[in-house]
Amino acid sequence: MFGWEGELPEPSGRTADDMRAVLLDPRCQCREPLYFMYRDLSRSESDWQWLHDHNLRYDLTVIPPRDLCGERVKTKGHYHPKNGAGVGFPEIYEVLEGSAHYLLQSRSLDNVVLITADAGDLVIIPPEYGHVTINPSPDETLSMANIVSTAFESEYGEYEARHGAAYYELSDGSLRKNPAYEKVPPVFRRGPSCRRGTQRICRGPLYDLVGNGDALAFLNFPEKYLPVFEAILKG
């Protein structure tokens, strides 16, 4: 697979049935899996041990191009809970192949952000933001990596209860407001958090940060980096 050398474990996948609660058209049928997730990866036993010693996990996600009855294929969407200091856990992604749209929404629903990222770009999901990843291409596969804390379980309930995110991305590239959200702001569009090598907190390639405790400390201790997250949200 692009961006990874060697064997991969059997992936877990999301089907249309798994995603029905969050689709624009819940009756939409698709026989093929919508996306694949390879969890808890490492290139060596020592890397795996370092990640686990630091409560971290390296994953890959592959999202083939799909048209879901007029909606672009996407991940299910979730929030992260708060850590012991009362600040939500963040996450960091790297686009390996294709292009991605990361649709972020604050828990208070006072901010909705659409981040466009291409191969080599890195995107940080700030604390207190739910997120959905969309493959906006009609013909190219999106492959991406992420590193995230293992100290929590993702929370899908809000997205399921509201039938998805605050907006749906349609196959023509336009956005449609989800009527289950009574009041949300317009979407703020922006680019990636950084490109490879431009900032310490998200210098890529992402896998090169494995073993660098200082660079990845924000994933478990976001309370120490609140000004950085604020700056990232402002672009």
pLDDT, tens digit (0-9, with 9 covering 90-100), for 54-65: 999 999 999 999
Neighbours of 190 (CB within 10 A): 16
Lowest mean pLDDT among 82-86, 95-99, 227-231: 227-231
CATH number of 12-234: 2.60.120.10
- What per-residue confidence (pLDDT) applies to 194? 74
Q: Given pLDDT bands bounded at 50, 70 and 90, which one contains residue 1?
A: low
Q: What percent of the chain is predicted at pLDDT more than 90? A: 86
Q: Which residue has the higher pLDDT, 105 or 200?
A: 105
Q: Please, which pLDDT band fits residue 104 given cuts at 50, 70 and 90?
A: very high
pLDDT digits (tens, 9 = 90+) for 174-203: 999 999 999 999 999 998 877 655 555 566
What does the alpha-carbon distance between residue 127 and residue 88 come to, in Å, rounded to a whole number? 4
Mean pLDDT, range 93-98, rounded to an integer: 95
Assess whether pLDDT exceeds 70 at residue 117: yes
Query: Is the pLDDT at 231 greater than 90, yes or no?
Result: no
- What integer pLDDT is reported at residue 160 of this predicted model? 98
pLDDT mean across residues, the chain: 93
pLDDT confidence of residue 89:
98
Confidence of residue 90 (pLDDT cuts 50, 70, 90): very high
User: Could you tell me which residue, 198 or 225, shows the higher pLDDT?
Assistant: 225
pLDDT of 197: 53
pTM: 0.94
Q: Across residues 119-126, what is the average pLDDT? A: 93
Confidence check: pLDDT of 163 > 80: yes
Q: What is the pLDDT of residue 7?
A: 82
Give dist(CA 172, CA 71) in Å, integer.
8
Question: Taking the CA of residue 52 as centre, how many other CA atoms within 13 Å lie in the half-sphere pointing to its CB?
Answer: 10
Domain ranges for the chain: 12-234
